[in-house]
Amino acid sequence: MTLITVVGSGRVGTSAALQIAMRELGDIVLIDIVQGLPQGEALDLNHACATLDLDVDVKGSNDYRDMAGSDVVVVTAGLVRKPDMTRLDLLFKNSEIISSVAKQVKEHAPKSKVIVVTNPLDVMTYVAYKTTGFESRRVMGFSGLLDIGRFRHIIRSRLGVSYKSIRSMVLGEHGDSMVLLPSRTYIGVEPLSRFMDEKTIAESVEATRKAGAEVIKLKGWSAHHAPGAGAALMVSAIVRDEKAVIPTSAYLEGQYGERDIYAVVPCVLGAGGVEKIIELSLSEEELRKFKESVKVLREAVAQLKL
C-alpha cells in the first residue's frame, strides 16, 4: 500500500489528509509536535473513512520515525499568515521549521517525493531542497493550483461557465509578484479575451492576487480547504503516475533563463516527481514580469544562511 505522510496537523495538513483519503491514494501518517493533536485528528479521519467506505488507514504520531517508507511527504508545518502579514514576513521562523522537518525527511524517508505547502512557498521549497540534498525533481512546492483555482473562481463568477471549461496558467512567486497569464487562459478552446475586455481581465487578475488576504480578513485565518485539495491533486499525480501538467514550484536549471531558484512553472508530474518543466513562449512583458518575480525570490533566499 502506498504511504503518504503529512507533516503538520493544523488546518491545512488535516484538510490535505482528508482530500488524500477521499481519493484513496494510500495510507496516511499525520505527524505533529503537539502531543495528542495528530492522534486525535487521525481518529476523526478514520471515522470519516469508515462513514464514507474509504479503505484507508490514518495514523497520528509525534515521532518522525513513523514516516519510514513514505512514498510522498507533504509538508504543511509552520506559522500561518495573520491579517497584517505578507507571506515573506514568515521567512525566518518558517525556514527554521522547514529545515528541521527536512532533516527528518532525509533520515526517515530518503526515497520520498516532497511537496512543500508552507509559506513563503517558493523559498521554503528551496530550503527543503538544500536541506534534504534530494534530486531537485523530488522536491517541489504547491501553490500554482491554488492561484489558478482562485482565478478560475473569479472568471466563473463573471461568465457563468463551468470550471471544467476554464484553463489557465501562472508563473513566478506564490505571492504579490505572481504572474497570472490571461494570454494562456481559455474558455473551452477560445481565449479569455473573447469573453472579457482588457479592464475586466486586469480587475480579475488583481482580485486573484488579493484573494488569500481576503480569506484571512474575512475568517481570521488563512485558507486551508483549497490548499488541502490542491496538495492532494499533486499527490495523486505522483502516486498514480498521471503525467499531469500542473503549475508547480520547481527548481530551475536554465529554463526561462533562470538557475538555482524555485519558482512556479508548468510541470509534468508523475511517479518520478517533476518529470519535465514546460517552457512557454512568453511575450516580452510576461517574461519581464517573471524575471521581476524571480528577483523577489532571490532577494528572499539571500537573507537566509543556506
pLDDT in tens, 150-173: 999 999 999 999 999 999 999 999
Mean pLDDT along residues 113-136: 97
Q: In whole angstroms, give the CA distance from residue 27 to residue 227.
A: 20
Instruction: Dump pLDDT digits (tens) for 174-202.
Output: 989 999 999 999 999 999 999 999 999 99
Instruction: Dump pLDDT digits (tens) for 46-69.
Output: 999 999 999 999 999 999 999 999
Give the amino acid at 237: A
Q: Where are the alpha helices (DSSP H) in the chain?
A: 11-22, 37-51, 91-108, 121-132, 144-159, 198-209, 211-219, 225-239, 284-302
Mean pLDDT along residues 1-28: 97
Distances (CA, A) of 49 to 40, 46, 250: 14, 5, 33
How does residue 86 score in pLDDT terms, banded at 50, 70 and 90? low
What cell does 32 get?
505533529
CATH superfamily, region 3-141: NAD(P)-binding Rossmann-like Domain (3.40.50.720)
Question: Chain-centre distance of CA 174, in angstroms?
Answer: 9
> 3-state DSSP call for residue 144?
helix
Identify the sign of the CA torsion 119, 115, 228, 248. Answer: positive
Average pLDDT score over the chain:
96
How does residue 116 score in pLDDT terms, banded at 50, 70 and 90? very high
The pTM is what?
0.96
Is residue 120 a contact partner of residue 88, using CB atoms and an 8 Å limit? yes
DSSP character at residue 172: B
Instruction: Dump pLDDT digits (tens) for 253-264.
Output: 999 999 999 999
Query: Active-site residue numbers?
Result: 174
Give the amino acid at 41: E
Instruction: Dump pLDDT digits (tens) for 74-85.
Output: 999 998 766 666
Is residue 212 a contact partner of residue 111, using CB atoms and an 8 Å limit? no
Domain parsing of the chain, residue ranges: 3-141
